[in-house]
Structure 1
Amino acid sequence: MQALHDEGKRESGKDRLRGKLTTFEITEPAELMNFLLTYLPTKSRNEIKSLLVHRQVSVDNQVVTQYNYPLSSGQTVVVNWGKVPLETKLQGLKILYEDSDIIVIDKMAGLLSIATTGEKEPTAYNILSDYVKRSNPKNKIFVLHRLDRETSGIMMFAKNENVQELLQSSWKKAVLERTYVVVVEGPLNQEQGTIISWLTESKSYKMYSSRTPNGGQKAVTHYQLLKKNKNYSLLEVKLETGRKNQIRVHMQDIGHSVIGDKQYGATKRSIGRLGLHAQVLAFRHPITGEEVRYETDIPKDFLGLFN
């Protein structure tokens, strides 16, 4: 049985009005929603969803909004009945999920993932580093993967070195799905297809593709046509491998460069950015083992090309 204490007693309307906290000590595994439904019997499922959405529930001092978040023995759940201030907006990114081990974000186009040599401008890495240090100056962020500066979408960072090592050593097994939406030049004739090539990098850091093994890294990209008109095609692209610039090179290989990608053959920059967005990231949580999936909307400027 899970133990409960409440700076006093179980929650009540008066507690909520006074902004008090209800604290639960977990003594057996449970999912967060089921646990709260049991131990907040006066609250409906929708009321508890509202608490989660408004960031009023934390586990071990980390705000949790995921209804099926797995609780373990020894953890502490706190419900804040007071009004929680809106989350500070972070320039260039939005936090989709955060716990004590990882942060999942939606990065805007134009923001560097991490600094390259000599770069001093803001990056997703240093913005998140500053963010986690607000609660504890000793907190750190650890890089797991990157997105190109002009690519928007979902990225994940580790919050401790152990999790970074766990994920990087088992990245292929841990990551269950990486899906992108891509706008390319011209109308595709094929509804779907798979591109296989071997990629090598030049001294100028540009990737080159060969249809036959040449000592480079094997790259496999699957695509499906979502929309098209006489000028553009909107594709859903799934990566079987995650090589540098893989999608960009492979789109050039089939004669339909990503819009805005002059480096790989594009002639159009119709929306002022690269037509590449990391839409879905699904993975096995490195600590809980739970399979989780995060998805963002297709960017409006992508869809605007097909109206």
Structure 2
Amino acid sequence: MEQVTYTINEEQHLERIDKVLSTLNESWSRSQVQQWIKDNQVSVNGQPIKGNYKGKTGDEIVINIPDPEPLDVLPEEMDLQYYYEDEDVLVVNKPRGMVVHPAPGHTTGTLVNGLMAHCKDLSGINGVMRPGIVHRIDKDTSGLLMVAKNDMAHESLVNQLVKKTVTRRYKAIVHGVIPHDKGTIDAPIGRDEKDRQSMTVTEKNSKEAVTHFQVLERFKDFTFVECQLETGRTHQIRVHMKYIGYPLAGDPKYGPRKTIELDGQALHAGILGFEHPRTKEYLQFEAPLPQEFEDVLDWLRKRS
């Protein structure tokens, strides 16, 4: 069992403890934290607490993260593109249309299945369904992911995400012609109360979300942009670009459907940079746009 300690700071004074803890690690959902609290795996100043406990400045939090259950997800041989690998981490280019990790009732064909066939050692911090997974990208988003091969690497990479030192730059095609060359979207994101399967910009039960964008090319009624994440919320780029009036092309959830010849949103995680957990060397990788993404750009150039 892994033990994590944390001290409540002044900004978190009187915030619900489950909300505070769910912001410490991008892979910890609020429901997961609540379950740990129910199982008496979370203590404050040495005492068990309830999920509605509101933290006070200086509170010492101890979280006992249960050991992962025996893994029942099977390895599957896949032709995946690996950009880097050593004893601690690997960087893989996830194709569009592939889910990152299994879920109950869907345990095959995911990136994790392929990773398990490629290497035997993956960190166990996230449990049986998400071994090695530090961060995610959506099923129809392609691009680079860093994967932890042991718990030391996992903790280091997660801490870098929390400290916002990981470089994550995406290429996207959005509806409309953005008039300014660059901008920053600073708007909190939370679950949409009207549609629990979607995220939205909201002040209720939300988390800080910051996206920087730069225009790369303009077309007749679309814009090609690069977005850099400062935070990593669920569907962040998709939600933020919709919020400012330029939803992603091809996005079936947040934008007009069937406007381009692409199955899903035009979004590619092209650049990924981080500090190596062991050597402390900064590593950065770049994956080119998938051919189907390039084809859409060529089509837009011709019709413009």
Instruction: Quote the Cα distance in structure 2 between the aligned partners of 1:174 and 1:215.
Output: 21
The aligned counterpart of 1:302 is 293
1:156 to 126, 133, 146: 146
SS of structure 1 residue aligned to 2:173: strand
The aligned counterpart of 1:44 is none
What are the superposed Cα offsets for residues 240-280 of structure 1, whole Å, 9 maximum, x if unpaired?
11111000001111211111212112232422232010011
Report sequence identity in percent. 33
The aligned counterpart of 1:120 is 107
Which amino acid is 1:289 matched to?
K
Instruction: Quote the Cα distance in structure 2 between the aligned partners of 1:96 and 1:276.
Output: 19
The aligned counterpart of 1:28 is none
The aligned counterpart of 2:272 is 281
Q: Structure 1 residues 143 and 176, CA, compared in 2 at 3 Å: closer, same or farther? A: closer
The aligned counterpart of 1:69 is none
Structure 2: runs of 5 or more not aligned: 1-75, 123-130, 299-304
Post-superposition shift, 1:174?
A: 7.2
2:158 to 147, 168, 171: 168
Is the 1:183–1:302 contact (alpha carbons within 8 Å) kept by the matching residues of 2? Answer: no
Instruction: Quote the Cα distance in structure 2 between the aligned partners of 1:280 and 1:304.
Output: 20
Instruction: Quote the Cα distance in structure 1 between the aligned partners of 2:88 and 2:274.
Output: 14
| Match runs of 1:1-307 below 5 Å | 91=78, 93-133=80-120, 139-140=121-122, 141-173=131-163, 175-202=165-192, 204-210=196-202, 213-267=203-257, 268-307=259-298
Q: Structure 1 residues 174 and 96, CA, compared in 2 at 3 Å: closer, same or farther? A: farther
Instruction: Quote the Cα distance in structure 2 between the aligned partners of 1:124 and 1:261.
Output: 21
Instruction: Quote the Cα distance in structure 2 between the aligned partners of 1:174 and 1:238.
Output: 11
RMSD of aligned residue pairs (Cα, Å): 2.0
Instruction: Quote the Cα distance in structure 1 between the aligned partners of 2:175 and 2:281.
Output: 39
SS of structure 1 residue aligned to 2:253: helix
The aligned counterpart of 2:37 is none
Post-superposition shift, 1:215?
A: 4.2
What are the superposed Cα offsets for residues 109-129 of structure 1, whole Å, 9 maximum, x if unpaired?
001110122113311112111
SS of structure 1 residue aligned to 2:108: coil
What is the aligned residue count? 212
Which amino acid is 1:295 matched to?
E
Post-superposition shift, 1:304?
A: 2.8
Is the 1:193–1:222 contact (alpha carbons within 8 Å) kept by the matching residues of 2? Answer: yes
Post-superposition shift, 1:187?
A: 2.0
Is the 2:160–2:166 contact (alpha carbons within 8 Å) kept by the matching residues of 1? Answer: no
The aligned counterpart of 1:67 is none
Is the 1:232–1:305 contact (alpha carbons within 8 Å) kept by the matching residues of 2? Answer: no
Which amino acid is 1:274 matched to?
Q
Is the 1:199–1:217 contact (alpha carbons within 8 Å) kept by the matching residues of 2? Answer: yes
Instruction: Quote the Cα distance in structure 1 between the aligned partners of 2:208 and 2:265.
Output: 24
Post-superposition shift, 1:296?
A: 1.1
SS of structure 1 residue aligned to 2:208: strand
Which amino acid is 2:265 matched to?
L
Instruction: Quote the Cα distance in structure 1 between the aligned partners of 2:222 and 2:78.
Output: 30
SS of structure 2 residue aligned to 1:204: strand
What are the superposed Cα offsets for residues 52-71 of structure 1, whole Å, 9 maximum, x if unpaired?
xxxxxxxxxxxxxxxxxxxx
Post-superposition shift, 1:205?
A: 2.6
Instruction: Quote the Cα distance in structure 1 between the aligned partners of 2:164 and 2:278.
Output: 11
SS of structure 1 residue aligned to 2:214: strand
